[in-house]
Amino acid sequence: MLTPAVYTSTAKIFLSATQPPAAGSGNQPATYAVSTDDLARYLDVLNAPSVMEPLRERLGLAPDTPLSVSGEVAQTSNIMTITATGGDPSLLARIANEAGPVLADVATKKFSPLLAANGQAVEATPITPATVPAEPVSPNAKRNLLLGALLGLALGMGLALLRHTLDTKVRTEDDIKALSPRPILGDMPTVKSAKNGLLSLESDPHGRHAESIRRLRTNILFVDVTTGGHSFVITSSVPGEGKTTTTINLALAMADAGSKVLLIDGDLRNPSVARTMGLDGAFGLTTLLLGQADPDDVIQRWRTSTLHVLPAGPVPPNPSELLGSEPMEVLFGKLSHEFDFILVDSPPVVPVVDAVLINKLTHGLIMVVGADRTKKRDLASAVQSLETVGAPVAGFALNMVSASSSTTHRYGYYGYNRGADTKQGRRAKKRAEARHEA
């Protein structure tokens, strides 16, 4: 659209050689056709300075004014087509009309010595005079816009295809659905208030993360109905997807519902449940498996809730052997009768086989997937490994979802304590506290 407009104006002339009659004869001037060689010579010198300078003088233009003139000779006649190109339509018509007579005059004096010697002259007879052009020949806005749209569409599709090909990470639920038909049980936003701890059920019980954990708890109850059990192993494909934080908050949510819940740290290679919850992790699951203590001695109750925590204990040299041992099976069977729900935080699936061993004892496996962190190939490898050994995923939990794509953001968030941050809410809270103290 910013390209300067270019116009063309065309004139057709007939070039001929004329010879004046003899003095006193009373005859008309004789006209002869210009030879083909002469026509070719005239065409070659059309843009020569010897033609352009007289043309500028006739048009009243400055000596350095640029002129763009081209010519074409018909093969079957002496007709020459002269085309002037530029940005001023009116000037172009004048240039095309005056170029023929100027060329004929210059050709007689300088480029046709034989004609000049015989007293002959070259004349340019107008056939089709040039007119002022109404439309530019360039740019063709409609054509350019159409070509631009087509090229833009092709480029956009190419970039989209390239991005899809090079995008190796799981970002949305659709990426998970493309790898497994198992249901998506929930999506959790990133825990941003790390200064208050990662336990959102404690630090921000009415926040979006806490609400998403409760929604995950509700959906797991439906999985519980289909599996016929009350124990689940929570794992991920690779480290760093937030499985431990999700497991702890999920256990807190189940305990808030009134269930007696046991949270077991089954990650004997890198235990983190006790550290995250601020509990003593010196004794735990490995202590029980080695027969050095009873469950009542190492299982710790979380404050005054119905949540009980069994830390991992000392890191053993053979985690897989302990988790797949007979004492582990006996212990888990005993604990299953004492608690309503058991959640086991296990190591990731891709690096080690521990999650598969624990899954043999539980009734379902929940796979935590970190949005924008988990690679599709790692998740596909984990799902394939579990299906190969007959331990399919019961459901997925998409973690670390951005606020713009989370379910709570899409449908609006309704908190239980929306008025708590308003002046009216704060005044009501102070009155309630005063009544309680009284």
Residue type, 252: L
Task: Clarify whether residues 149 and 264 are in a common domain.
Answer: no
Q: How many domains does the chain have?
A: 3
Q: What is the pLDDT along the chain (438 residues), one digit of tens a residue?
A: 778 889 999 999 988 888 766 555 555 666 777 777 778 888 888 888 889 999 999 999 998 889 999 999 887 777 889 999 999 999 999 999 999 899 888 887 777 666 666 667 888 889 999 999 988 888 888 888 899 999 999 999 999 888 878 888 999 999 999 999 999 999 999 876 544 557 888 888 888 999 999 999 999 988 766 555 689 999 999 999 999 999 999 999 999 999 999 999 999 999 999 999 999 999 999 999 999 999 999 999 999 999 999 999 999 999 999 999 999 999 999 999 999 999 999 999 999 999 999 999 998 999 999 999 999 999 999 999 999 998 889 999 999 998 666 554 444 444 444 444 444 445 544 554 454 444
Task: Clarify whether residues 281 and 388 are in a common domain.
Answer: yes
Does residue 1 form part of some domain?
A: no
CB atoms < 10 A from the CB of 299, how many? 22
Distances from the Cα of 50 to the Cα of 17, 56, 65, 103, 434, angstroms: 20, 11, 15, 9, 107
Query: What's the pLDDT score for residue 28?
Result: 63
**Region class of 398: left (phi > 0), else alpha (psi between -120 and 50), else beta:** beta
Does residue 435 form part of some domain?
A: no
Q: Are the C-beta atoms of 170 and 369 separated by less than 8 Å?
A: yes
The two three-digit tokens of residue 56, written as one number: 């500028």
Task: Clarify whether residues 93 and 218 are in a common domain.
Answer: no
End-to-end C-alpha distance for the chain, whole angstroms: 78
Task: Clarify whether residues 149 and 222 are in a common domain.
Answer: no
Task: Clarify whether residues 65 and 176 are in a common domain.
Answer: no
Q: Are the C-beta atoms of 252 and 277 separated by less than 8 Å?
A: no
Calpha distance 77→296 (Å, rounded): 116
Task: Clarify whether residues 87 and 146 are in a common domain.
Answer: no
Does residue 276 form part of some domain?
A: yes
Domain of residue 151, residue span: 138-166
Beta-carbon contacts of 338 under 8 Å, excluding residues fewer than 6 positions away, are: 260, 262
Task: Clarify whether residues 50 and 143 are in a common domain.
Answer: no
Task: Clarify whether residues 157 and 214 are in a common domain.
Answer: no
Backbone angles phi, psi at 102, to 5 degrees: -65, -40
Q: What is the pLDDT of residues 202-242, one digit of tens each?
A: 888 888 999 999 999 999 988 766 555 689 999 999 999 99
Task: Clarify whether residues 94 and 241 are in a common domain.
Answer: no
pTM across the whole model? 0.62
Task: Clarify whether residues 160 and 173 are in a common domain.
Answer: no
Calpha distance 122→106 (Å, rounded): 9
Torsion 188-189-193-194 (CA) sign = positive
Angle of CA points 401, 402, 405, to nearest 5°: 90
Backbone angles phi, psi at 267, to 5 degrees: -90, 85
Bridge partners of 191?
Answer: none
Task: Clarify whether residues 24 and 148 are in a common domain.
Answer: no
Does residue 133 form part of some domain?
A: no
Nearest to 11, CA basis, from 84, 61, 60: 84
Task: Clarify whether residues 145 and 104 are in a common domain.
Answer: no
Query: What's the pLDDT score for residue 166?
Result: 82
User: In CATH, what number is assigned to the domain containing residue 226?
Assistant: 3.40.50.300
Q: Are the C-beta atoms of 107 and 42 separated by less than 8 Å?
A: yes
Does residue 436 form part of some domain?
A: no
Nearest to 99, CA basis, from 80, 78, 77: 80
Calpha distance 408→96 (Å, rounded): 72
Query: What's the pLDDT score for residue 109?
Result: 78
User: In CATH, what number is assigned to the domain containing residue 33?
Assistant: 3.30.310
Max Cα distance, the chain (Å): 146
Name the pairing type of β-strands 184-189 and 261-265. Answer: unpaired
